[in-house]
Amino acid sequence: MRKPLWINGQWVEGSSWRTLRSPYTMEEIAEIAQADEAQLNRAVEAAAAAAKVMRKMPAHERASILEKVSAALTSRREEAARIIALEAAKPLKTALAEIDRTIMTYKFSAEEARQLRGEMVPMDAAPGGDNRLAFTLREPIGVIGAITPFNFPMNLVAHKVGPAIASGNTVVLKPASQTPLSAYLIAELFDQAGLPAGALNVVTGSGSTLGNLLVEDPRISMITFTGSPAVGTAIRNRAGLKRVTLELGSNSAVIIDTDRNLDKIVERCVTGAFTYQGQVCISLQRIFVVGEDLYRRFTDEFVKRTGNLRTGDPLSMDTDLSALISPADVSRSLEWIGEAKRLGATVAAGGQAEGNVLRPTVLLNVDPRAKVSCQEVFAPIVLINAVKSVEEAISLVNDSDYGLQAGIYTDDVHAALHAAESLEAGGVLINDIPTFRVDHMPYGGVKMSGMGREGVKYAMEEMTERKLVIFNRN
Ligand code: NAP
């Protein structure tokens, strides 16, 4: 199968082609068009022309297009999930869950399109403001350059395209090279839903070449990026005065300070650590258990449950974990496990790979200097360390360059409130793992985990300008 570019409402042959392979079997899936500079230029030109149309489109029409996309995805749910399983090696049951969330993200976008509004400003609150009636309008920002990662190829595209269309913008989307097919399916659904030509363009090709062109193009008003901190930082440095939203990585942690419903807690933690092979931005990477006795019981149960996970073909409904996104990530993960062992860690489960599948790995007593602790591991590797107090755990959680979400299980309301105040993260979850997201909540990080917020309504705030209108009645 050959997959061309989607520019100005048409399929356009690539200037060259790249073979897309399954991360699990390494077999060819498709030939993907690679855009050159002239083609990217045409995509931006089309988006700039369509921005004039979208700006005038009434909210009910934008909402209706988004509702149709959501409905079309519902009827193609299995097909869409298989695309994710094939190109991203996401186990089918996890891929189906992603589609269900994507359907919701477009539904929320349709709802928020109808709710987009400014506010009255009480001008007479200031001396000199008497007899002035003022309000703000929320205007679309124009053309948005969206750059997305491989790990949620439908839903993270939805978190950019949904709010952008809901607020009357247009988009040039550069999806991850490993997951172009998901993005092209979404382009097809928007076309069928009646989105004007040029309002959504999808270009595939080298991240650095196309990415740099998008970031530096003066016709683009905003870059919305989800991906690694290294690329996000480079984008921020090049973007000049463009608005930039960055959703980056983390080494998320949870504190366990209670044994109430320990089985349930362990089950949640195993899910948080190993869902999609740990390749989730809020994957549970570090677990700190308060007290030696609780630590032993928690660890025993955790290792037992990890042993029940099934690895294998992403297209099988029985599979819990499949291949990492690339063989290089398998070698990197094994090296990081080796380094943790040299620094004194014990491997309680996993630690080896079969092909591109890394067995779910549990490390105990890990030195905080080990890469598996202080960097983003993005693989099915979790560490469990004992701590003496919640206070010690909070300082270990905060001893990180990242801060996306953090969790604490406790029965002590004072400890919970203290943790909520003290944990340095965009979100704090009480009695849950950090690996939790529904698609309308404000979501984003502090420190190296990013800047700006997503979650449909919050992304729309980033994607609109507030224009002030003042009537002088004096
Ligand atoms: P990545 O390597 O940073 O790639 C992300 C996107 O950036 C891809 O489309 C990539 O294109 C493109 N890109 C590469 N170099 C670029 C450059 N110089 N300029 C502009 N764009 C460039 O990340 P990934 O491996 O796909 O995704 C994993 C990362 O995403 C992890 O760090 C994870 O934590 C983070 N993430 C964060 C969130 C969140 O919401 N906070 C959610 C999901 C994932 P190519 O694929 O063509 O290289």
Asked if 324 and 23 count as a contact pair (C-beta separation under 8 A), the reply is yes
Beta partners for 429? 407
Summarised one tens digit per residue, pLDDT across range 437-450 is 999 999 999 999 99
Summarised one tens digit per residue, pLDDT across range 51-98 is 999 999 999 999 999 999 999 999 999 999 999 999 999 999 999 999
pLDDT at 84: 98
Query: What mean pLDDT comes out for the span 406-410?
Result: 98
Summarised one tens digit per residue, pLDDT across range 226-256 is 999 999 999 999 999 999 999 999 999 999 9
Summarised one tens digit per residue, pLDDT across range 343-361 is 999 999 999 999 999 999 9
Q: Can you tell me which atom of ligand 1 is nearest the CA of 249? A: 34
Backbone angles phi, psi at 230, to 5 degrees: -65, -50
Site to substitute for ligand 1 among 155, 281, 377, most atoms within 8 A of C-beta: 281
Q: How confident is the model at residue 168 (pLDDT cuts 50, 70, 90)?
A: very high
Q: What is the CA angle 354-231-363, rounded to 5?
A: 35
pLDDT at 111: 98
Percent of the chain whose pLDDT exceeds 70: 100
- Cβ density class 97-119: b for 16+ within 10 Å, e for less: bbbebbbbbbbbbbbbbeebebe
Q: Choose among 136, 184, 133: nearest CA to 31.
A: 184
Summarised one tens digit per residue, pLDDT across range 113-166 is 999 999 999 999 999 999 999 999 999 999 999 999 999 999 999 999 999 999
Site to substitute for ligand 1 among 171, 236, 248, most atoms within 8 A of C-beta: 248
Residues with beta carbon inside 6 Å of ligand 1? Answer: 147-152, 156, 174-177, 206-208, 211-212, 226-228, 231, 234-235, 247-249, 281, 376, 378, 404, 445, 450
Q: How confident is the model at residue 5 (pLDDT cuts 50, 70, 90)?
A: very high
Residues annotated catalytic, as ranges: 247, 281
Q: How confident is the model at residue 332 (pLDDT cuts 50, 70, 90)?
A: very high
Phi/psi-derived region of residue 411, left when phi > 0, alpha when psi is between -120 and 50, beta in every other case: alpha
Q: How confident is the model at residue 387 (pLDDT cuts 50, 70, 90)?
A: very high
Q: Choose among 168, 154, 182: nearest CA to 439.
A: 154
pLDDT at 328: 98
Query: What mean pLDDT comes out for the span 15-43?
Result: 98
pLDDT at 352: 98
Summarised one tens digit per residue, pLDDT across range 333-344 is 999 999 999 999
208: exposed, middle or buried (Cβ count in 10 Å: 0-12, 13-18, 19+):
exposed
Asked if 199 and 54 count as a contact pair (C-beta separation under 8 A), the reply is yes
Full-model pTM: 0.98
Percent of the chain whose pLDDT exceeds 90: 100
Q: How confident is the model at residue 179 (pLDDT cuts 50, 70, 90)?
A: very high
Q: Choose among 112, 113, 111, 85: nearest CA to 99.
A: 85
Q: Choose among 313, 297, 309: nearest CA to 349.
A: 309
The residue nearest atom 19 of ligand 1, judged by CA position, is: 211
Q: What's the mean per-residue pLDDT of the chain?
A: 98
Angle between helices 59-75 and 180-192 in degrees, nearest 10: 120
